[in-house]
Chain A
Amino acid sequence: MPDLGPHAIFIVAAYAATFVAIAALAFFILDDNRKQCRLLAALEQRGIRRRSAQTQAAVPKPRSERKRRS
C-alpha cells in the first residue's frame, strides 16, 4: 500500500463507504432473492401452481418423449 499522505483518512473513508454501501446493497438483493425463492417453493409444495405450469402438466407428452422416458 503506498503512503497516502496527509489526507489518507479521506481516501480510506471513501473506499470504506463504497465497500459498505455495495455490501449492504448486495446483501439486501441476495436476501430478497432467496426469500422469494423460498416463498415460491412453499406455495408450489402446497400444490398451488401457475396456470401455465398446470397447463403443461395437463397436456399429454408427445409419443416420442413418452417412449424415450419408458
Chain B
Amino acid sequence: MISLANPTRFLNLAGSVISWLAAAVLALLGIGLYLAFFVAPPDYQQGETVRIMFVHVPAAWLAMFGYVLIAIAALGTLIWRHPLADVAAKAAAPIGATFTLIALVTGSLWGKPMWGAYWVWDARLTSMLVLFLLYLGLIALWQAIDEPGRAGRAAAILALVGVVNIPIIKFSVDWWNTLHQPASIIRAGGPSIDAAMLWPLLVMTLGFTLLFVLLHLIAMRAEILRRRVRALQQTQVERAGRGLRRHHA
C-alpha cells in the first residue's frame, strides 16, 4: 500500500487493471441484469416493482460507500498528508453524488406505486437527500478554491463533519417510524430476503461496486494528470517571467 503512495506507481498500476476491471463490470452487470429480469421472481406483495431493488439498493450502498471513502481519505489528507488521499477524495465525490442521485430517483420511482407518493419527508429519504447535498457542497468547495492543497484541507474538514450522516442513514429506519422498509440484508439475524432475489441483488451489487472502483481509478488518473498539468503550466509561467526579466535587463 505504501508503494502506491507514489502517483507514478499508482498511474502504472491503474493503467494495468482498468481493462480487466471494465471486462469484469460488463460481465457482472450482464449476468446481474439477466438474473434480475429473468430469474428473480416477483415479490408476493410488491409484484414486479421489486425489480427496481436491483438498481436502487446497489446505488444506495455505493452512495454511502463513496462518502465513507471520502471521509477515510480526509483523514489521510489531514493527519498523514498522503499524496493520493486528496486525489482519491476529490475523484470519489462526483461518483458518489451520481449514485446518491440514482438511489433517490429510483427510490422515488419505486415509492410512487408502493406508497402512493414520489417523495415523503421520511428520515431515510431526508438523510439521503442531505448526503446528496453534502456531495454537492464538497464538489463546490473543490471548485471554489484554486490551490489544490488548501481546497483539499477545507474539503477534508467538511467531509469529516458530514460523516455523522452515514450512521443516521443506516439506522434511520430503526430509530424513527418510517415508510421505508427496515434493513433486509445487513442485519443481525442475517438477510431476510429469499435466496432467489438475494443472489441477483448480490451480483448487481458486486457489478456496481466494481463499476465504482473502475470509474474512481480513471477519475483519480485524470486528477493526478490535472495536477501535473497545473504544475507544468506554473513552470512555464515562471520561465516566461525569468525570460522577460533577462530581456529587460
Closest A-chain residue to B215, C-beta based?
A29
How distant is the Cα of A40 from the Cα of B113 in the complex, in angstroms? 51
How distant is the Cα of A22 from the Cα of B106 in the complex, in angstroms? 13
- Chain A contact surface mostly: helix
- Residues of chain B with a CB closer than 8 A to A29's CB: 94-95, 215, 218-219, 222
How distant is the Cα of A29 from the Cα of B213 in the complex, in angstroms? 13
Closest A-chain residue to B51, C-beta based?
A11
- Chain B contact surface mostly: helix
Asked if A13 meets B215 with Cβ closer than 8 Å, knowing A2-B37, A21-B98, A43-B236, the reply is no
Total number of B residues with any Cβ neighbor in A under 8 Å = 38
Which residues of A line the B interface, CB within 8 A? 1-5, 7-8, 10-11, 13-15, 17-18, 21-22, 24-26, 28-30, 32-33, 35-37, 39-40, 43-44, 46, 48-50
5 more A-B contacts (CB under 8 A) besides A10-B49, A49-B232? Answer: A14-B105, A25-B95, A25-B98, A33-B221, A43-B236
22 examples of A-B residue contacts, CB within 8 angstroms: A2-B37, A2-B48, A5-B47, A7-B49, A10-B52, A10-B109, A11-B48, A14-B110, A17-B106, A18-B55, A21-B105, A24-B98, A25-B215, A29-B95, A30-B218, A33-B221, A36-B222, A37-B225, A43-B233, A48-B232, A48-B235, A49-B232
